[in-house]
Each structure stands twice: as C-alpha cells, then as structure tokens.
Amino acid sequence: MKLHDCQMAPNPRRVRIYLHEKGVEVEKVEHNILAGENIEEAYLKINPWGTLPALELDDGTVIREAPSIFRYIDSI
C-alpha cells in the first residue's frame, strides 16, 4: 500500500494519525499541493479528483477519502 500524502494538509494528517494509532505502516508518497503536484498528469492518473489523501492498494485500487480509508484499514 502507498499513502499519497501532503504533510501540511489536514485530511492526510488525519490518516497518518489513524495509521499510527492502528500500528499500520505504509509507504508514503509526498505531494506538494502548493506547487500543484496533485493536479499534474502523473497524480491525476492515480486519483482523477486530484485530492489528498489517497490510499493506493497493491492491486491498483485507490481509496480517495479519509473516512473510507479508515473503514478499509479497519476491515483488514
């Protein structure tokens, strides 16, 4: 799994805290939203909404909202 993240944004922070509290380690990929990295073509291929966070699963599935990421982590 990969967490597409932005250190300064509040919703990715919520997910980082949640993962830490659950003891779940995932690879993190940092995106600079001030530089517009989240709306560049490469990221939009992963998440067409251009939002962060996004949890990319090993099978290529992408979960695009913090509450949905929480539910997914609770289910594994």
Whether the bond into 48 is cis, omega within 30 of 0: no
Tens-place pLDDT, residues 15-27: 999 999 999 999 9
Distance CA 50, CA 47 (A): 6
Cα dist from 43 to 19, 24, 51, 64, 72, whole Å:
22, 24, 9, 12, 21
Question: What is the pTM (predicted TM-score) of this model?
Answer: 0.94
Residues in the chain: 76
The conformation of residue 59, written as its DSSP 8-state character, comes to: T
Tens-place pLDDT, residues 56-71: 999 999 999 999 999 9
